[in-house]
Structure 1
């Protein structure tokens, strides 16, 4: 049993970190227990100007898996604010120009083009795995792709010179049908040399195992099913007239990841929810989550993991660690720039909500304080809970299960130090 719990705590960690960096910031999350139940609560913190007038700011700590009521309450609260800034990597070319490299050279445009081509190639590979055929056009690829990746594909088929890429199918030596994605380079004409040379996917290295991704349906979906919880992207709506996407574009994230040496597959895993633990974890999660006691155990693990994620995040391997280093600080700067612009130029705005993954909040709070604000109170929402009654356990059995999970998580924390 202990070895099973150890494997599951590792799976829980990977399911959370591949969704986003969820390092627990002190003061934005708390665990509340009364002996027969335990719950994880997340804060919405209010900030007010130290001096003079200015809009109130509400910083909401998001976890990307939780109870449906948690997301309903957050939705209702945020919908009442004049403006809501939310996270969500934007499609290629949709990021604010101030976050782009200034006056891109042909060499930089070539790099942008290669990244877009590779991103599309990863999407095509997943399309082929699901539909057992290749798409015949970029439009068909978008229509047959689900979730965040479908949104990001819109606009991705333009190269660094803002010209259409070309998608072609080719017969390979083994008789199988393959594909190629082509840019005509700086001059927009076939052939050429230097910056004018065509840029082709087939001239790049084959997709790596991590870039090809998970084929089991996603560890996060299995986690939701096993715990009876839901995911933020499925439970909340971000298309209200007061909601503004405040984030980098996929181009801008990829550019920063390339500079850091992070694994390109890690970005795709963050977006589509895949991870290398999926094949083992999906079957085990299905087995454990098939009864009330198993669901309670999984929820206990999630609560404990979120309570220690700041330490556990250090266990992330090189590619994922670099990914999280880049996306936390750089994406925070986008939010703070948007926030400052609203305060300075939109004088009729009285309230601003911000909802971002909890790992972003320490940096965002520091930026808000630097703008001359101070905390003015917290409102707490229950993100998830587990109880002896729901699990069909006695108080003693529930406590013993909780203690066992706590010891396993603490052991991983010690290994991270």
Structure 2
């Protein structure tokens, strides 16, 4: 019987919660399909056809705290017990540091991790030179790859205080070690739209050059075979080079939490980015009659709404009472959205439904396709568990897809604490909290 790589995981992570979590996954992934029952674990739920939500808010009257928990659900193949278990891991983009420490340790112990992260422009195109893709599309991908590499080169130089790296491989190792998903993105950007390697060099003056040799992959040439140089593009803008934490990073700081991208590492060899590219999201949203540009501008803080939120977060950061209220607001908002569905809330514009189809359903289709690819891969050692870590709002739809399209069934659910709030520490009574929640419920239909 196969086992998870949990032994090292348990030895290096002694806290009781972590041990219970590991033991639960170990039991489920090793006992499914056998006569032995799955041992009952604290925090684990019994098997059921309806696996329930991925978010819950727990009020601990004894401790006087309110806690946001996220689910990890384990699924087993219905017909083939040799297939690996699949764990759907709920994530939230800002949380307590302990949540990300636990999440990191759990994911690092799995055989393969498919993770969320919209990719840079130009990375979604099949670079097979024989594929039926027109020249303009290949040209756009090539230009996007050249620009992405140039941005990373400049940011790496600024962050390291050193010269440009001697090779793109060195860039991948150095920059990828410090930034979520960057190593894979750099790797995918090293080829142009025709699948040929982009030429990189640094001259005696210290300036870099990035060059695609066009369709024929040889220096020189005309028309489709002409060389394409980054030097021929417009200079990089300050916005492209800034290292701004964005709205989520600022919100985390304001609430005394941490941002997922700052707290976790995704450069492990068993991690794979599984998502759409920015240009794919924008194009698919346009095809659905929606506009995702405004959302991206809010998230990076460049829109008026984004700038207004920055000011608001600065005020919240200076007021511990407001920090607690905002945390509780966020918890209940997440719970209500999962229960009611964002697009089903009264007053939600029709365009939101179209945008959510792209942001949730279309991105989930990519994950399922990547999962099916992984399930069919031949590996030296059979995989025991494949983890998929995504925002909790994605997982109900993903769950239905892996059950219907991949032949899996729910085996167990267990919970990990993401955010814990003590209202009394900020002078808020239980009645204050209840009043705030009722106000939230009244506000939701008009938001």
How would you bin the TM-score normalised by the shorter chain?
Answer: 0.5 to 0.7
* Mapped partners of 2:434, 2:324: distance in 1: 12
How far apart, in 1, do the equivalents of 2:349 and 2:221 lie? 43
Match of 1:27? 53
Q: Verify: 1:221 aligned to 2:249, yes or no.
A: yes
Are positions 1:254 and 2:289 aligned together? no
Q: C-alpha distance in 1, partners of 2:416/2:394?
A: 18
How far apart are residue 376 of structure 1 and its match? 1.8
The structural deviation recorded for 1:126 is 8.4
Counterpart-to-counterpart distance in 2, 1:376 and 1:197: 56
CA drift of 1:103 comes to: 4.1
User: Which of 365, 379, 398 pairs up with 2:414?
Assistant: 379
Query: In the alignment, does 2:387 pair up with 1:356?
Result: no
Alignment of 1:255-294 (within 5 A): 255=280, 257-258=282-283, 260-261=285-286, 273-276=300-303, 277-294=305-322
TM superposition shift of 1:379: 0.2
Is 1:339 the counterpart of 2:371 in the alignment?
yes
Stretches of structure 2 lacking an aligned partner (at least 5 in a row): 1-50, 203-207
- Could you state the TM-score of these two structures normalised by the residue count of structure 2? 0.64
Question: Aligned pair in 2 of structure 1 residues 218, 130: CA closer, same or farther (>3 Å)?
Answer: farther
Number of residue equivalences: 374
Match of 1:110 in 2: 139
1:107-138 CA deviation, whole Å, 9 max, x = no partner?
3312322433565677799899999xxx9999
Larger RCO, structure (CA 8 Å, separation 6 or more) = 1
Contact 1:47 1:57 in 2 (8 A): yes
Distance in 1 (CA, whole Å) between partners of 2:109 and 2:353 is 36
Q: TM-score by structure 1 length?
A: 0.68
CA contact (8 A) 2:180 2:261 kept: no
Deviation at 1:348, TM superposition (A): 2.8
Secondary structure (helix, strand or coil) at the match of 1:147 reads coil
Report if aligned partners of 1:218, 1:273 keep a CA contact under 8 Å in 2.
yes
For structure 1, which runs of at least 5 residues remain unmatched after alignment?
A: 1-24, 169-178
Alpha-carbon distance change, 144 to 400 in structure 1, aligned in 2, over 3 angstroms: same
Change (3 A) 1:324 1:275: farther
Deviations 1:265-320 (A, max 9, x none): 669769x84452332222321222223212101201211221234326986997x9
Structure 2 vs 1, CA of residues 287 and 238 (structure 1 numbering), >3 Å: closer, same or farther? same
Q: Give yes or no for the alignment of 1:48 onto 2:73.
A: no
* Partners of 2:438 and 2:266 in 1: CA distance: 38
Mapped contact 1:44–1:61 kept (Cα < 8 A): yes
Q: How does 1:150-189 map to 2 (within 5 A)?
A: 151=183, 152-153=185-186, 156=189, 158-161=191-194, 162-164=196-198, 185-186=214-215
Kindly provide the CA deviation profile for residues 145-167 of structure 1, in whole angstroms up to 9, marking residues without a partner as x.
Answer: 97348543565365323353789
SS of structure 1 residue aligned to 2:215: coil
Identify if the C-alpha distance between structure 1 residues 375 and 392 changes in structure 2 by more than 3 Å, giving closer, same or farther.
same
CA distance in 1, matches of 2:245, 2:376: 45
Question: Which deviates the most, 222-231 or 77-86?
Answer: 77-86
C-alpha separation between the residues in 1 aligned to 2:56 and 2:318?
28
**What is the 5 A alignment of 1:180-219?**
185-186=214-215, 194-196=223-225, 217-219=245-247
Q: 2:179 aligns with which of 124, 127, 147?
A: 147
- Structure 1 Cα separation of the partners of residues 225 and 295 of structure 2: 29
